[in-house]
A and B are shown apart, each in its own frame.
Chain A
């Protein structure tokens, strides 16, 4: 039966070429625009570590005095002081815990004739890799002992390994960073969680291919590397950021279940109370945010992208309303045909199915064309200078989603006309024919 309906649909399209084309193109424009923007939005607001994000929490404390608060609106400081980070790390109350900061490094290739170049590097404590499940291609991360001993070791990203060593196993070789030699102990596999949640407020970009090198925190500091971002309320004491109220570290903990979360929360609260008692803090406020709530509250997704997505979907809505109107016009024009079919024995259900098949066919063709528009739209986005631009690709999921949305849109748009068609009473139509 479906084959027959589709045949009828094709015949009807041929009769009204302009109207059909109009429907297909408007639907395709709506689908193309909304799929393009939705792909970008999903990319930007996605879960950076889907299998792990539920267990990761960001820790915030408030070392600022009451009369010189961190923010006027009462926000907690974004970063942590060295003292607090170390106290909390050494307490080992979470399954994993790591403190990290971002630094600018100058990389001097030792093996090739390439020129030196600057990149971002992460300075972190040992749990960084196991907590964020960064996969290793060769070697491994460093131990807490390496960190404490200020061992000059480094883990490098896959793209740096490709660039400097042609993708070979470079573990054991040395890399010159800021004019000091570091021994490579690990090479990551491709690892680029988006958004780059841990680099928020550390001074790195929110999106992109990520940092080139990862260094033990103590080793990096001993080698004279400074964090990109650091803030302090007290004048003149940024000189030694380890022994001052300067905030410069991001602190993440891994807590496997709700019990662990509440246990850590009370531990953190008591820690803050203790610091108030010691006179280091004036306020015992704490923050423990899950990864996704933390990203949401920080609004990493640019306003423009959210606006564009809203605009694209309103556009799709109008295109759908338009398609309903045109389908309605088209099908009511064919009341004679419907009358004949009904008189020859077609049931109402059959007429309804026929018109839904016609709407569905428009949806599929519109979806196909919409996919082309979406691919073109994403190509345009990749030409832009935004830091997420190169990541804007249509994945399989969005590909199917395009057709699902197109089919849904056209079927929803087809319901009213199909219903109007199936309630046509055959007798008067036959008479007037």
Chain B
């Protein structure tokens, strides 16, 4: 197929050619970036939290009647005892925060008490000796907390943990070449000795801006005495729904001076995960939906304009057929024409896509667009163009040579 005649013909349809090319370029730029964002969101969705989510319940408890710290300490201890006695409960602990829970404390972790010189930010989970077994965390090195190491912390005090358990990701950052066990780290003014390293434990946040240290968590041996406490409950296999129905009543029966929200006071971890990623999932669905509609709109636009061109050129097609062009020649003429326009479009579109990505990187916390996405987008749009033009081109190829002799 010769390109010369195609280009010559296109010169007579500058406006239409430009419009299709522009539409392809814009579609490529937007679809590439949208799908890139979708992929980033989906990748976050599938990140493991490191805990045994299938058998965990979370209870949000708020004390009423302003108990003081001593009262809260005994109330919390009584609650843990109550929960342990609920049939089907395997283990339980009280904490300030849990993975994907979207609330908790961030601390800078460093090699010295100087606040400015921290190595990375990390989440702090208040824990006790039951935390590891409740969450199902895998201790890869060192030991668990002992019951006598657990301190009490009211809302106004400052924590200075003597011992600390950290995640492997955090250990790798702090001590890349050696074991972290027995080494001091600073999350407060005084050193905390690392006594254990767990395989993986995500932070409570799924936010983009905190993604860099999403696996950097610390467990500190404290029970927090504030009006709002969370209980994390591990249930025996297959008892999740059973326990879930009974815990609220059991806690209220033990003590009425509390509020456990009827709406989301008791949540299974599946729910926690659902809610944590709801925005991400919504965004991914929206972006993919719009991308599909965009491709359809662009395809429809190509069909429309090509059909018009075919209609306009029936006579010329008839002449070419009369002069010996085969149906295949006509078909490949229109396919080539579309390919040329589409190539021009995707070249512009590739540049636009990268430009848009650079702008987005400045505006939002985003990574660089991989070349793979642009290439995949280019391939998709070229294919879309060929598919869209196929029907009008087939119609063109069926134009009879007799048309050449007709005046209309």
Q: A325-B23, A332-B308 are in contact. Are A318 and B298 (CB under 8 A)?
A: yes
Can you offer 23 A-B residue contacts whose CB atoms are under 8 A?
Answer: A22-B300, A67-B116, A106-B259, A118-B62, A235-B189, A236-B157, A236-B158, A239-B156, A304-B283, A311-B30, A314-B26, A314-B30, A321-B22, A325-B304, A325-B305, A328-B15, A329-B305, A332-B308, A333-B308, A333-B311, A333-B312, A386-B279, A432-B407
Contact residues, B77-119 vs A (CB, 8 A): 114-116
Instruction: Give the shortest distance, in Å, between B35 (CB) and chain A (any CB).
Output: 12
Contact residues, B294-315 vs A (CB, 8 A): 294, 297-298, 300-301, 304-305, 307-309, 311-312
* B116, B208, B294: most-surrounded residue (chain A CB, <10 A): B294
Q: CB of B193 within 8 A of chain A?
A: no
Q: A304-B279, A333-B311 are in contact. Are A29 and B297 (CB under 8 A)?
A: yes
Q: CB of B246 within 8 A of chain A?
A: no
Say yes or no: A318 contacts B20, CB within 8 Å: no
Contact residues, A368-416 vs B (CB, 8 A): 384-386, 416
Known: A314-B26, A318-B297, A328-B305. 18 other contacts (CB 8 A): A33-B290, A69-B116, A178-B66, A226-B155, A236-B157, A238-B156, A303-B365, A306-B364, A307-B37, A311-B286, A315-B293, A317-B26, A325-B19, A325-B304, A326-B304, A329-B305, A329-B308, A333-B311
Say yes or no: A329 contacts B408, CB within 8 Å: no
Considering the chains assembled together, what is the distance between the CA atoms of A304 and B305 in angstroms? 35
Say yes or no: A116 contacts B278, CB within 8 Å: no
Say yes or no: B115 contacts A22, CB within 8 Å: no
Say yes or no: A325 contacts B20, CB within 8 Å: yes
Considering the chains assembled together, what is the distance between the CA atoms of A11 and B365 in angstroms? 52
Contact residues, A229-248 vs B (CB, 8 A): 233, 235-236, 238-239
Considering the chains assembled together, what is the distance between the CA atoms of A171 and B65 in angstroms? 26
* A104, A306, A321, A333: most-surrounded residue (chain B CB, <10 A): A321
Residues of B with C-beta under 8 A to A328: 15-16, 19, 305
Considering the chains assembled together, what is the distance between the CA atoms of A69 and B114 in angstroms? 11
Least CB separation from A246: chain B residue: B156
Considering the chains assembled together, what is the distance between the CA atoms of A90 and B40 in angstroms? 52
Least CB separation from B208: chain A residue: A303
Residues of B with C-beta under 8 A to A83: none
Residues of A with C-beta under 8 A to B116: 67-69, 72
Q: CB of B361 within 8 A of chain A?
A: no
Say yes or no: B15 contacts A416, CB within 8 Å: yes
Instruction: Give the shortest distance, in Å, between B227 (CB) and chain A (any CB).
Output: 8
Residues of B with C-beta under 8 A to A311: 30, 34, 286-287, 290
Residues of B with C-beta under 8 A to A312: 290
Q: CB of B2 within 8 A of chain A?
A: no
Q: CB of A430 within 8 A of chain B?
A: no
Number of contacting residues on B, CB 8 A?
Answer: 53
Instruction: Give the shortest distance, in Å, between B321 (CB) and chain A (any CB).
Output: 20
Return the CB mask of B229-267 against A: 1 if under 8 Å, else 0: 000000000000000000000000000000100000000
Say yes or no: B305 contacts A307, CB within 8 Å: no
Contact residues, A331-371 vs B (CB, 8 A): 332-333
Considering the chains assembled together, what is the distance between the CA atoms of A236 and B37 in angstroms? 44
Q: 9 nearest interchain CB pairs?
A: A329-B308, A322-B301, A325-B19, A235-B158, A238-B156, A321-B23, A326-B304, A314-B30, A318-B26
Least CB separation from A417: chain B residue: B15
Say yes or no: A329 contacts B294, CB within 8 Å: no
Q: CB of A292 within 8 A of chain B?
A: no
Considering the chains assembled together, what is the distance between the CA atoms of A325 and B18 in angstroms? 9
Q: CB of B27 within 8 A of chain A?
A: yes
Considering the chains assembled together, what is the distance between the CA atoms of A377 and B275 in angstroms? 21
Considering the chains assembled together, what is the distance between the CA atoms of A239 and B309 in angstroms? 80
Say yes or no: B286 contacts A326, CB within 8 Å: no
**A contact face: mostly helix, strand, loop, or mixed:** helix
Residues of B with C-beta under 8 A to A224: 66
Instruction: Give the shortest distance, in Å, between B403 (CB) and chain A (any CB).
Output: 13
Q: A311-B34, A328-B19 are in contact. Are A385 and B304 (CB under 8 A)?
A: no
Q: CB of A308 within 8 A of chain B?
A: yes
Say yes or no: A322 contacts B300, CB within 8 Å: yes
Number of contacting residues on A, CB 8 A?
Answer: 52
Q: CB of B282 within 8 A of chain A?
A: yes
Say yes or no: B30 contacts A329, CB within 8 Å: no
Q: CB of A185 within 8 A of chain B?
A: no
Return the CB mask of B202-215 against A: 1 if under 8 Å, else 0: 00000010000000
Q: CB of B363 within 8 A of chain A?
A: yes
Q: CB of B64 within 8 A of chain A?
A: yes
Residues of A with C-beta under 8 A to B282: 384
Residues of A with C-beta under 8 A to B37: 307
Q: CB of A324 within 8 A of chain B?
A: yes
Residues of A with C-beta under 8 A to B311: 333
Least CB separation from B190: chain A residue: A235
Return the CB mask of B4-19 against A: 1 if under 8 Å, else 0: 0000000000011001
Residues of A with C-beta under 8 A to B365: 303
Residues of B with C-beta under 8 A to A8: none
Say yes or no: A179 contacts B364, CB within 8 Å: no
* A233, A311, A315, A322: most-surrounded residue (chain B CB, <10 A): A322
Instruction: Give the shortest distance, in Å, between A34 (CB) and chain B (any CB).
Output: 11
* A308, A318, A332, A385: most-surrounded residue (chain B CB, <10 A): A318
Residues of B with C-beta under 8 A to A117: 259
Considering the chains assembled together, what is the distance between the CA atoms of A299 and B113 in angstroms? 32
Q: CB of A319 within 8 A of chain B?
A: yes
Residues of B with C-beta under 8 A to A308: 283, 286
Say yes or no: A29 contacts B293, CB within 8 Å: yes
Say yes or no: A118 contacts B259, CB within 8 Å: yes
Q: CB of A19 within 8 A of chain B?
A: yes
Return the CB mask of B379-400 against A: 1 if under 8 Å, else 0: 0000000000000000000000
Q: A236-B158, A239-B156, A317-B26 are in contact. Are A303 and B304 (CB under 8 A)?
A: no
Q: Which of A19, A306, A318 contacts B30 (CB 8 A)?
A: A318
Say yes or no: A315 contacts B290, CB within 8 Å: yes
Least CB separation from A239: chain B residue: B156
Considering the chains assembled together, what is the distance between the CA atoms of A326 and B304 in angstroms? 6
Least CB separation from B207: chain A residue: A303
Q: Which of B283, B290, B297, B407 contacts A322 (CB 8 A)?
A: B297
Say yes or no: B23 contacts A303, CB within 8 Å: no
